[in-house]
Structure formats: structure tokens, C-alpha cells
Amino acid sequence: MAEIKIEIKLFVTLTAFAPKNADNFPVQEGTTVEMLIRDLNIPADTVKLIFVNGRKQDTTYVLTSGDRLGLFPPVGGG
């Protein structure tokens, strides 16, 4: 499988898991959001919202070259 590049944005408490090269991050073709979350050692239950290219997605989404992935933790209100 070929390597592709994506952009990763992690928000709030998830920023601690951001890789150094998040703006041009290499992944293998066929990688799902779920696989990437696992590879970045992000506890699955800490990801509440997933956006790819500005659209809400789920963990089964297969990433493609140039995708912009945004991961958000549960958001508390007050």
C-alpha cells in the first residue's frame, strides 16, 4: 500500500497527542480514523467528534490523500 499525507488537528485535551508533523502526517492508504486514533495512542473514549474536510464522520471513515482531520473531546458546558 502507498503512503498518503493528511493534516491532523487535535483540540482541547487531545492536543497532547498531536504528532510533530501533524500538518503533513504520513499514513498508509486504507487507514481508517479508528486506526489512526489507535496509532496515535489516543484513548478511543476521549474522542467525541470527528470532522474530515469540515464534515462530520465516524471512526470507520477511510482517510484519503489531502484530508484534513479534526478530533474533538467531549465538550462540557456550564
The pLDDT tens digits for 4-34 are 999 999 999 999 999 999 999 999 999 999 9
Residue 38: its pLDDT value, please? 98
The answer to whether the CB of 76 falls within 8 A of the CB of 45 is no
Residue 77: its pLDDT value, please? 59
In angstroms, the CA 51 to CA 68 distance is 8
Q: Provide the CATH number for the domain around residue 58.
A: 3.10.20.30
Q: What residue type is assigned to position 51 of the chain? A: F
- Whether residue 78 lies inside any domain: the answer is no
- Whether residue 24 lies inside any domain: the answer is yes
- Whether residue 53 lies inside any domain: the answer is yes
Residue 7 class from Cβ within 10 Å (0-12 exposed, 13-18 middle, 19+ buried)? middle
Boundaries of domain holding 37:
3-72
Query: What per-residue string of b and e applies to 23-55 under the rule 16 or more CB within 10 Å gives b?
Result: eebebeeebbbebbbeebebeeeebeebebeee
Count structural domains, the chain.
1
Q: What is the pLDDT of residues 31-61, one digit of tens each?
A: 999 999 999 999 999 999 999 999 999 999 9
Residue 5: its pLDDT value, please? 98
